[in-house]
Structure 1
């Protein structure tokens, strides 16, 4: 009998590819895949988060010159995960990334959560990159003598923090017109390129990668002239905790190598090309990162790094050149490199997210429009357009100062489950051919999972609660939509609909318990990590990450569970299944009452 943890066999996944009327065009070789990975990895992280990782901020310790070791630590974890990804990708040459891998090993429910989780990595991360791109582009234009109005390049929330911006912006019916048009336009442009086709998109990305590496090479070549070894002392100003915290931050600089596996259906020889592309891109980027970190921390002493962040400067590499008085032309070249880097990351992530939606829709967990393939360009046009609209709109109106941490924790969680999936698949199906097999037996995936969890521990407390809220929202969507329409376990797969009601009611009830428990645990972890030293107003600003998910449970999840459990309880199912429905009925009822009571206390000002 199908259930929430029913797995989709690898043979069934491959059969979906073979039986599809329209499949994605195979047009990528190993060089293009490697460049695709480099284009995704080297981007916003090395050009933006390197400063925060080195100096720290109010919620974390800085690594200082030890940032070089932070890159090594983070790269070590990524290498373990990359080998797991490579093994999976060679066995499952189909679009979907960690979503598909989890479907084959951990079951539909976990696969849905992973697919939902990957939205953080691709879509939410891309919103942050688009906003950052707008900042760099505005600086680049200013250097060229073109002034872009602040009200056309700033979201409304950030505008309130800039004196005089709201007052100086044009008004319509008394409402200030403040939005980040630049961020929307770059997302729209990338979306159009992706709609044309994967071959054109891949070569466009290849050109971006070459230009981007040239700019980084220029920074290294010029920066070495101003490097002072004395600036590397003390090497670890905040000890090993600062080093680990820095590794957790700059993990954002490595996000992207997994995006390569999402184009498995478009690789010429996926069993060979995907492992080669993933590992090669990771090794190349790690070497570049360590060199850049050595030059960057050697150009600016640690006290100056701390001051840089206190003035809220968002361009650490250009500031390093300014600190060393390297000249305005050098600063302009690096600013141009930042724009190119961000564009490449936007391209690859906008390429990956629609293909996650494509796979989920093909499995029935999302509406069919997400699985539409353009008859001429053979690209997933429905999911590409919807992703572009969502990311572009969010980038116009949202401030994502803390989205890097949310992106990191979401990605690390997905990577953890990929490592767990390797363990499960080796135990369940040890004889299946593996064109690429990660070395070290079960030790490697275990170390990969533990490494990801270790980096999660060193992320700020706010990211734990927000990620828990995101997972809870995904559980609500699965119970209310995906569990009913799934091709593998949906209502149509059961001869008796009442049996589906009983099964999904039980799953939904326990998801409600799990989601609520996860939210409470994350909130308690926040209290423990902050130790009563939270900044003023922190609790008020973050409380809605707890109350909104609980409200969704109350108005969507529990009514859905209660309705299905009631129908199953009154059916002619065997006694055991009616008892299961009865338990779900009581569980959902009690949880709904407790949730309503808590929300009532919140509304009452408790």
Structure 2
């Protein structure tokens, strides 16, 4: 009797509809672009204020927190090599209803991330080209990314490679100019102050800042949504997540360390919102001149509005595709374009939601801050369920003896994330729990209608 190969979706009761064309390098680049190697440029002032100047330490703590989560993702990616990310892992690792809630929680992240990126990038571009208003740039970015994603995952992969090279080139320029400026005596603080300042240090401050800094790390998990487009082993998929997180973590810490040492008007960054919002570009101008401020600002706008939004839209559409395929969201989201092999309806839905939310948040005074907090809350909550799924699947069900990978690591990751969530923005906590409450209502209605969440059985 023939058996189904161990890493095909047919083994889990699905048909292979997406195109398997991505290798380890493609997945690694995808993860790096999703996290944006120059992401700290855009939120440097926020993290500086929250960490009281210990920006590099905030990113280091964020990296550690995400490292344990990446290890849990890698374990579950090998066990369940399918699209759907934490929705799939919690659903099959624990139970289908739990998977629905995990998917619902991370939807708060995935659905809102493109809107956040479009809004920040559009505001930046409107400051350079005021003839086109913010809403005009929003439409341009959404249309451009939707077309690229519709043309197929290989087109998306090719574009991300070009964008990654450009971002790394800009980062290299900043680091070289910044180090030269420090060597010439432009430093504004003690060398180790970005990682430890005895005058302001407290764990509450550090973890509160880390809850903002982790926004830059969100995206390595997006690699897991491409499991059904990965042409190599599921183990390689997991390793690409860990590698992408490690590489980008080093880049984040290096650039924020240099930036923190060059920050002028440190007291003003802590109190004046205008100074805070432009803190990075001001220090870039201080280090190298107006040209460096313009270069880093434009690079940030393009990276967030095009490159990052491009892969965020792709990841979100795969999550909607997986939940639609399992009838836990409307089934029309599972439609795959026969020519380009992409979830076409899910891609278009993400585009419409991103445009609508972006235009709405543009009318609010604190729209960006609210989106940042909600995105982080959704991701952290879903990651908590991921760690639980690792323990339940491997330790409880499989009786695994690898307790370091399947019990200790997820337990530490869970504890760190709980501390980050507790110290997160209060408004985000309230709205986040309201979102989870809505999810529970939706789940309850499904039960009342006799549509208990279920997943196809694994084929032996």
Match of 1:231 in 2: 189
Distance 2:139 2:309 in 1: 12
Selected match of 2:92 from 76, 83, 104? 104
Distance 1:355 1:112 in 2: 15
- Distance change (3 Å), C-alpha of 1:348 and 1:482: farther
- The answer as to 2:97 corresponding to 1:135 is no
Give the total of aligned pairs: 437
Selected match of 2:266 from 303, 328, 337? 303
Selected match of 1:36 from 30, 36, 54? 30
Give how far 1:43 is off: 6.0
Q: Kindly indicate whether the alpha-carbon contact (under 8 Å) linking 2:395 and 2:406 is maintained by their aligned counterparts in 1.
A: no
- The answer as to 2:74 corresponding to 1:86 is yes
CA-atom RMSD, angstroms?
A: 2.6
Selected match of 1:220 from 175, 178, 202? 175
Match of 1:63 in 2: 52
Selected match of 2:137 from 182, 191, 200? 182
Match of 1:364 in 2: 327
Match of 1:416 in 2: 384
- The answer as to 2:360 corresponding to 1:397 is yes
- The answer as to 2:10 corresponding to 1:15 is yes
Note the alpha carbon deviations across 1:390-435, whole angstroms, 9 max, x for none.
Answer: 1112112224232111111111111111111100011233268x9x
Distance 1:127 1:191 in 2: 13
Match of 2:130 in 1: 147
Selected match of 1:381 from 344, 350, 358? 344
Distance 1:483 1:229 in 2: 64
Counterpart of 1:311 in 2: which secondary structure? Answer: helix
Computing the radius of gyration from Cα coordinates, the structure with the larger value is: 1
Map 1:174-573; keep pairs closer than 5 Å: 180-227=135-182, 228-232=186-190, 235-240=197-202, 241-301=204-264, 303-304=266-267, 306=269, 309-311=272-274, 313-322=276-285, 324=286, 326-342=288-304, 343-399=306-362, 400-401=367-368, 402-430=370-398, 439-481=404-446, 484=449, 486=451, 489=454
Give how far 1:126 is off: 1.7
Match of 1:538 in 2: none
Q: Kindly indicate whether the alpha-carbon contact (under 8 Å) linking 1:365 and 1:483 is maintained by their aligned counterparts in 2.
A: no
- Distance change (3 Å), C-alpha of 1:210 and 1:410: same
Counterpart of 2:398 in 1: which secondary structure? Answer: coil
Distance 1:79 1:481 in 2: 35
Q: Kindly indicate whether the alpha-carbon contact (under 8 Å) linking 2:390 and 2:406 is maintained by their aligned counterparts in 1.
A: no
Distance 1:284 1:329 in 2: 27
Give how far 1:277 is off: 0.9
Match of 1:594 in 2: none
Distance 2:326 2:450 in 1: 9
Distance 1:336 1:252 in 2: 20
Any unmatched runs of 5+ in structure 1?
1-10, 57-61, 154-179, 491-606
Give how far 1:309 is off: 4.2
Note the alpha carbon deviations across 1:443-471, whole angstroms, 9 max, x for none.
Answer: 11100100111111111211111101111
Distance 1:312 1:464 in 2: 27
Give how far 1:219 is off: 1.1
- Distance change (3 Å), C-alpha of 1:397 and 1:266: same
Q: Kindly indicate whether the alpha-carbon contact (under 8 Å) linking 1:63 and 1:245 is maintained by their aligned counterparts in 2.
A: no
Distance 2:448 2:312 in 1: 27
- The answer as to 2:83 corresponding to 1:95 is yes
Counterpart of 1:129 in 2: which secondary structure? Answer: helix
Q: Kindly indicate whether the alpha-carbon contact (under 8 Å) linking 2:52 and 2:270 is maintained by their aligned counterparts in 1.
A: no
Counterpart of 1:255 in 2: which secondary structure? Answer: coil
Give how far 1:103 is off: 0.6
Distance 1:357 1:406 in 2: 19
Any unmatched runs of 5+ in structure 2?
1-5, 456-460
Distance 2:123 2:282 in 1: 14
Distance 1:373 1:419 in 2: 31
